[in-house]
Structure 1
Amino acid sequence: MARIKNKARDDGRLQSKVYIGTKNGKKQYKYVYATSTRELEQKVQELKTKLNKGLDLTADRDTFGYWGEKWLKLKKIEVSVKRYEAYSKRFENLEPIHDFNISKLKATDIQDIILDCADEPSEKTGKPYAKQTLIEIRNVAKQIIQLAIENRVLDYNCASAVKIPKTAEKSTRRALTEEEQSWITDTPHRAQTAAMIMMYAGLRRGELLALTWQDIDLDAHTIKVERSVSMIKGKPHIKEGGKTDAATRTVYIPGKLVNYLRNIAHSPLGLVCPTVKGSLMTETGFSRMWASYLNDLNIKYGDWADCMQTGGKCPSKYAPIEKPFLIPRITPHWLRHTFITLMYLAGVDVLTAKEQAGHADIKTTMAIYTHLDEKYKKKSINKLDEYLESIS
């Protein structure tokens, strides 16, 4: 039982000195202050309750940032470099509470950050943060506080009460339409090979950049995914294996991709998607190549007839003017999603699709297939409606 000793301070407040144990042979005390006896007794009782729960009262001044750094150190040895960098960015998003006392942190403190991110544009996209990003920020806060709980600093995770706004934008990840797929197959560019492989083999960007021609067997119609590239501060680093154990796989590719790859001049031992000098692409290098590719697609397939900025004319790709973007901004994620959608439309079973896509959890594939079921079954019913209307 803690022993309490009260005294009046010069500033008029009351003070209690509570014995909380020993450390390195020295007695440890915790001081509480109040303006009335009743308030003091209440604070002492709260202190006793924490002691009885086994909480470490010597850590009550630890900040959220302090435990965040400890959490990141643990994650650095547990997750991939890419995932660690993502965690670091989400921790940076929580910077407004880094100096907050973690034991006094409230759900509203984290909620304010979530609401600000939902309303204010991010530096990267110029748009408010997507719903999934907001969830990731909250989850990082929750995991940091959970680490402090496991170390007896506090006993309640306030981040669990934080809500994600229903109005938050959902990140856009969709499959390409048949017309958009034809843009990929019909437009030569240095990035076309990357786009074709992501669309017809479902490789992730990191898997694509590490791919060599030795990994491709055109006679067997296969691509072996055995390594991937992680970007560390924008620089590429090859690692054996994929994003997860399931990511190491053999992908069976369609004849359309095989025929395309047969016509690509290459070194038998070289990278499939290298820089112009044949080396691994950096993050900036890939981004610039992709931006150039989208620019070509935009000029070729954009509807310029009604574009007032260019006088209804299609501009030259080299014209020194800011060109409006008239087509969807296709991403590598969209191409991979297209691959999974094509498997669904071809009738590939969900287990095979999971293996071909390299998903670690079949729930991921199931979620995509379920969404596609809802989308295409609705289209089938619409066809019935159209037929009935045509005969009535």
Structure 2
Amino acid sequence: MAKKKNTVRADGRIAVQVYLGEFDGKRKYKTVYGKNQKEAEAKAQELKSSMYRGIDITADRDTFEFWMEAWCALKSTEVTHGRMESYKRSLKKYEPLYSLPITRLKTADFQQIILTLAKENPNTGEPSAKSSLKQIRSVGLQVCQLAIDNRVMDYNPVGPVKIPRVPQGNIRRALTQEEQQWIIDTPHRAQTAAMIMMFAGLRRGELLALTWSDISFKDATIDINKTVEFINGQPVLKNTAKSKNSIRTINIPDILVDFLHEKKKICTDSVIVCPSAKGQLMSEISWRRLWDSYLTDLNIKYGNFRNQISGQPKSKFQPQGVPCVIPRFTAHWLRHTYATMLYFAEVDVLTAKEQLGHSDVQTTLNIYTHLDGKHKRKSMDKLNSYLAGGTNNNSPIAKI
């Protein structure tokens, strides 16, 4: 492969032109530079090696942002609007890398961003959640993989990036039996939503799209066939669920059948099971206000205010406000509560997967494995407590 004569630039660098081939009948060259002849020739050899491996060296100036936008265009055809917005927020964390050529990015560039976010999320001032860091790493990995698939480079710099340990914050958990009873015993406009999510495991979008015709009181089932997605805060009804596996018919327990049967008798003004105050699909802000109101009522009714200077609140409208002393549980907590119920009811993993609408059984297995480990630890704690009583003469172990 021939190359043009090397030249010396005014700044003293050596320029070496490498022949790329003919394009549109014209010979094309690419220039590489080095501080000396040896460095320039090494870069030229590296360029030739990339060509031999099939790398498109004409795309070496394509930025990370260029391939990020290409990835977003492709991914947006596969996922919901809400999921895509979540991905874009994660990609925003790579903003310092946007203008850099993707071929020049190193593992250290991506690792530094992850480490920085692990220490502090600039939006909250707190360490980023591990799940958030995993998603940020994942989208970066996929953007670089798209560039690899298009032969722009042959190595993914995000692959070796590690997720550091982060302090555990407000971890999603199942509600305790006492907290579950709060929901059962406390009437509120949001109670229907809470009961369905806790005893049927619906996602928020599935819940808000639910109509009375989707519920069979005779068969004790709920048909999940659509979802609501918030776009710019407004509800958009999608005549399909989150994924193919999300379209399902689930069995519901008697406690939920009886509750919904009584609720239907008094809810005759809307076909929607959990509508807005006007009987329509709820907007994002309507949902947030409803849920905040619900938590406020539960907080006042069941919260322990003995350690609060203000004491037991007389009203949720008191001027100084009411401190929240109960867990601020979300729709995700209630869905996790349902998954936990399935585990302790010894429902097999495949049935649980179908009930929860998981896209793959591994997601369900991860939940079951976590719960299994947690349950075994509690069982061992009981054994330790039992054995600790061995010094007591009345203890069975003392008689051995």
In the TM superposition, 1:214-253 aligns within 5 A as: 214-253=213-252
Indicate conservation of the 8 Å contact 1:200/1:339, yes or no: yes
Compare 110-119 and 209-218 and name the one that shifted more: 110-119
Distance in 2 between residues matched to 1:48 and 1:248, nearest whole Å: 52
1:82 to partner: Cα distance: 2.5
Residue number in structure 2 paired with 1:9:
9
Indicate yes or no: 2:143 matched with 1:139: no
Distance in 2 between residues matched to 1:386 and 1:42, nearest whole Å: 69
Q: Cα 1:150–1:170, aligned 2, differ >3 Å: closer, same or farther?
A: farther
Summarize deviations over 1:278-299 as a string: whole Å, max 9, x none: 1111122211211111111112
Partner letter of residue 244 of structure 2?
D
In the TM superposition, 1:43-82 aligns within 5 A as: 43-82=43-82
Runs of 4+ residues deviating >6 angstroms = none
SS at 1:83's partner residue? helix
Residue number in structure 2 paired with 1:112:
112
Residue number in structure 1 paired with 2:19:
19
Residue number in structure 2 paired with 1:95:
95
Q: Cα 1:234–1:91, aligned 2, differ >3 Å: closer, same or farther?
A: same
Q: Where in structure 2 are there 5+ consecutive unaligned residues?
A: 390-394
Distance in 1 between residues matched to 2:329 and 2:129, nearest whole Å: 17
Indicate conservation of the 8 Å contact 1:214/1:269, yes or no: no
Q: Where in structure 1 are there 5+ consecutive unaligned residues?
A: none
Q: Cα 1:17–1:386, aligned 2, differ >3 Å: closer, same or farther?
A: closer
Q: Cα 1:76–1:199, aligned 2, differ >3 Å: closer, same or farther?
A: same
Indicate conservation of the 8 Å contact 1:175/1:334, yes or no: yes
Summarize deviations over 1:301-333 as a string: whole Å, max 9, x none: 11111102x1x2324201122432211111111
The TM-score normalised by the length of structure 2 is 0.92
Distance in 2 between residues matched to 1:197 and 1:19, nearest whole Å: 67
Q: Cα 1:171–1:6, aligned 2, differ >3 Å: closer, same or farther?
A: farther
SS at 2:158's partner residue? helix
Indicate conservation of the 8 Å contact 1:213/1:268, yes or no: no
Indicate yes or no: 2:281 matched with 1:280: yes
Distance in 1 between residues matched to 2:127 and 2:165, nearest whole Å: 13
Indicate yes or no: 2:173 matched with 1:174: yes
Residue number in structure 2 paired with 1:162:
161
Partner letter of residue 57 of structure 1?
I
CA RMSD of aligned residues (A): 1.8
Partner letter of residue 286 of structure 1?
W
Indicate conservation of the 8 Å contact 2:128/2:166, yes or no: no
In the TM superposition, 1:178-189 aligns within 5 A as: 178-189=177-188
What percentage of residue pairs aligned between the two structures are identical? 51
Q: How many residues align?
A: 389
Indicate conservation of the 8 Å contact 1:2/1:48, yes or no: no
Residue number in structure 2 paired with 1:313:
312
1:60 to partner: Cα distance: 0.9
Q: Cα 1:31–1:231, aligned 2, differ >3 Å: closer, same or farther?
A: same
Residue number in structure 2 paired with 1:298:
299
SS at 1:207's partner residue? helix
SS at 1:127's partner residue? coil
Partner letter of residue 87 of structure 1?
Y
Partner letter of residue 289 of structure 1?
L
SS at 1:88's partner residue? helix
